[in-house]
Amino acid sequence: MAEIGKRKLDSGWLAARSTEIELTGVQLTTTHPPSGPSAPWMEAEVPGTVLGTLLKNKLVPDPFYGLNNEAILDIADSGREYYTFWFFTTFDCQMSGNQHVNLNFRAINYSAELYLNGHKEILPKGMFRRHSLDITDILHPDGKNLLAVLVHPPDHPGSIPPEGGQGGDHEIGKDVAAQYVEGWDWMTPIRDRNTGIWDEVSISITGPVKITDPHLVSSFFDGYRRVYLHSTVELENRSSWNADCTLTLQVTTELEESVCLVEHVQTEKLSIPPGTVLQHTLLPAFFYKPNLWWPNGMGKQSLYNVVIAIDVNGFGESDSWSHHFGFRKIESVIDTTTGGRLFKVNGQPVFIRGGNWILSDGLLRLSKKRYMTDIKFHADMNFNMMRCWGGGLAERPEFYHYCDIYGLLVWQEFWITGDCDGRGIPVSNPNGPLDHDLFMFCARDTVKLLRNHASLALWVGGNEQIPPEDINAALKNDLQLHPLFRTEIPNSEEDLVSKSKDPSQYLDGTRVYVQGSMWDGFADGKGDFTDGPYEIQNPEDFFKDDYYKYGFNPEVGSVGIPVAATIRATMPPEGWEMPLFKKLSNGYIEEVPNPMWDYHKYIPYSKPGKVHDQIEMYGHPKNLDDFCEKAQLVNYVQYRALLEGWTSRMWTKYTGVLIWKTQNPWTGLRGQFYDHLHDQTAGFYGCRCAAEPVHVQLNLASYFIEVVNTTSDELTDVAVEVSVWDLDGSCPYYKVTEKISVPGKKVLPVIEMNYPKSKNAKPVYFLLLKLFRLSDNAVLSRNFYWLYLPGNDYKMLELYREKKIPLKITSEVLVSGSSYKIQMHVQNLSKSSHSTNIGFKKMESEKYVDDYYVNLADANQEIIPGNGQTSLLSKIYRGLLSRSSNSPKVLETNGADSGVAFFLHFSVHAAKKDTKNEVDTRILPVHYSDNYFSLIPGETLPITILFDVPEGITPRVVLNGWSYHEEQSIL
């Protein structure tokens, strides 16, 4: 008897262009199967796309490198047949009587013909739908099975006008498919339009009764002390006899040493007639004060393992299903004070600070490991929401799994964009996709796929457009809220439950549906173009009353050039030229990028007529390295100011903001906090600083120091230390405020920063703010600024590069397998006439241990934070201790100057013999507890670095900084 459960078919695939295969699908899966990867057959990327397969076999150049994409034939010129491919594999499966087997495709783009052992099935159209076929009767008796799938591209792949544009000629909008593939102002076209078997393929073996699409819903009473878990499941009896069954629901959480605590178990008896499908709703399961799931920055992301199993009398276990479930309630209303959309989780308002997400990779290489890094990066920036933009994907369950773990709320849009569905040049199809029934089938199937994830917060009809009237009406109807989850709830909730349909019987019923990204509490709420802007801004403008009128901005974007190493790694030498700086008659500078930067959608650091070039403010860059280093200074300042400006008006003017965008699905040069290679920009750390749950900041418009408390608890017994540092290393201004208290969910102006008004104020100076607890001097928030007086610029910092500030770096290395954890203390050894009194005692030291165990774990292993630390954490931590270095390593840099050690940043590299500049030695990704930081005289900062190394590679950690021009090797 074959083992009950699912088995992925993710290896051993072959592919070939359909025009090069003369055999039929029947022949391929009976008498003439391919024998291996010999022409025209090649090793295939499954899950993946045709273009990914061609790249894997080096039949096309890397489309993300330089101008290579221009050398790849576009489907508009080649015809659809050129990207119509056969995919072939074999699999073993031999079952016994009363067992049944399904072949499952979680997504194919766009349609397909399937052949299994000579039998043919047509897989219908639609990029966002699952296909599940009962193959029990066509499996080969000896267990050896041949599978061939002929995959066709989208019906309307469109063409790319010479001027490019948002979604090319918009033809892709006629299909139910991702629309970004025809190119956008941040993306070049994907030549095959993502044709392929792009998501998981599996076989699932069950007994006579199969479980499909359980729906889990939690309802809350008595101030979240009494909780019920509602569950509805579809059961299909595929046998020819009446199945007497026992249905079991079990809820557990993992404790130490792989011990699972059973929180609840219940069984129910039922009988299912032959050949029928039964929707069964279990009795609600009761929990008293379960651990709740909270968004990032508000509490723990407690998750329970829910298992639903079906046993059939005379057979045994027939099928089972499991999911990691978080008890939480999400509410979303339009705030009466600001007009912005307000989110509440477990009754607590959430001030949204997050970003727009397209997808992880433009060739749909969507591994769990990459998803884990992507989403952890967002959590590391202290973000609490990600918006899955309507021109991209219905994101995959693995994406949501890590959002559940890291506490990222998700706004999920359906596949409508204004550019491809009603406007644009040329004007696109005003009625959305051609097949509305197909759209709704895909939408409903997507809801079923994703609805059990705690992180999923909102359904939205489309980007900058609402769906066609009939689709919009259907979505509103299908996604209507259950009475328990509506804003107006009667006094007697128990009475409401007894008289209402069980909430798990709804398609969803727990989350709001909003018809478009600029409607109903977003932007002006009416669909007018009131999101944005998308260019460089004067940092102080983010704090001004007239910067943005509306309560919730779903898109505001800016710059995002990566580090110079990424430019060199993703472009040939002709792309290494920095922009030309063209002086205009009005005194502003226009940046003129080289053609390769232009192709990669570079966005400049100046806005002639409004914003002076922010890189030139630091002095004219000498070369690419200098340009990118100064750009990182701007990135940090720009995005910290953006988030601090919004946070300054928390609840009084704003309910949230989403930055356009956090990353690029290719090697783009705009709007990103980390590049496609997973190296972070300094903007990453500007966001990390600004979005702290408890934060001290300088209002750049009023010059008042503010304390932000986004938590629910009052902040008491705290004070702010303010110190100003000149470029000569002196401290001309020092102050500690009186004891203050900051209520929960409030921003408190504390004191005006008067140094710029003093007689002897220097043109350029540093400012350090520390919010600390008076009882033990523990620092709750630290924020470092470089500033200039009105009418000045940062050019004096150019001379500061000659400073030699001594540092002491103490590091300890912990190793487990290929994973490294480096704990450092970085100290500025220079002396000053004034040293601050507040030492750095980071409150969240345990967080980095948690981060490390998640980073170490195999991305295919399920990681669930429960009531306590998991056994995985304890095992890894013991491993770390057993393999730690014998004694800390100490490195001291020479220098006789006093002053701030400015803009220090670490990077991790492979130890190398070849020292050519074009060789990229970086090890990526790396998780830093902080980077791009500065230290005042005498100050020490703890830094934790986490990374995995490829096999056979010895890592080295390098320090650079504003006045540290030669690499300092730490490890």
CB 698 within 8 A of CB 648: no
Name the β-bridge partners of 433: none
* Pair type for strands 819-828 and 901-910: unpaired
Do residues 154 and 172 make contact, with C-beta atoms less than 8 angstroms apart? yes
Integer Cα distance of 231 and 284 in angstroms = 7
In the structure encoding, which two tokens stand for residue 161, read together?
A: 């006008």
Contacts of 955 (CB under 8 A, 6+ apart): 820, 908, 909, 910, 911, 923, 947, 949, 971
Neighbours of 370 (CB within 10 A): 17
692 catalytic per annotation:
no
Residue 302 CA to residue 315 CA, distance in Å, equals 36
Length of the chain: 971
Tracing tokens 């956090």 back to the chain, one arrives at 662
Written as six digits, the tokens of 621 are 């860059």
> 870: which residues sit within 8 A by CB, 6+ positions away?
254, 256, 853, 863, 864
Q: Residues 45, 200, 395, 464: which is the catalytic one? A: 464
Active site residue 555: yes
Give the closest residue to 216 by CA, choosing from 303, 345, 103. Answer: 303
User: DSSP alpha helices (H): ranges in 832-948?
Assistant: 845-856, 871-882
Residues 527, 423 contacting (CB under 8 angstroms):
no
58: Cβ contacts below 8 Å, ≥ 6 apart: none
Tokens of 332: 């979303």
Angle at 129 between CA 126 and CA 133, to 5 degrees: 110
Cis before 426 (ω within 30): yes
Which candidate in 45, 331, 398, 555 is catalytic? 555
- CA distance linking residue 402 with residue 371, whole number of Å: 7
* Residue 428 structure tokens: 């696109």
Candidates 286, 50, 262, 31; CA nearest to 149 is 50
Q: Tokens in use for 894? A: 């020479």
Helix (H) or strand (E) holding 67: none
Q: Region of 832 please: left (phi>0), alpha (psi -120 to 50) or beta.
A: beta
Record the tokens describing residue 856, joined without a space: 């170490």
Alpha carbon distance 919, 913 (integer Å): 11
Scored b (16 or more CB within 10 A) or e, 92-111 reads: ebebeebbbbbbbbbbbbbb
Tokens of 16: 């070939």
* Token pair belonging to 825: 């203390």
For the chain, percent helix, then strand, then coil, each to nearest 5? 20, 35, 45
Q: Give φ, ψ of 630 to 5 degrees.
A: -70, -35
Structure tokens at 150: 């002929």
Distance of CA 791 to the CA centre of its chain: 39
Contact indicator for 94, 2 with CB cutoff of 8 Å: yes
β-pair partners for 132: 104
Q: Order the strands of the 819-828 sheet from edge to edge.
A: 889-892, 807-816, 819-828, 940-948, 926-928
Catalytic residues: 464, 555
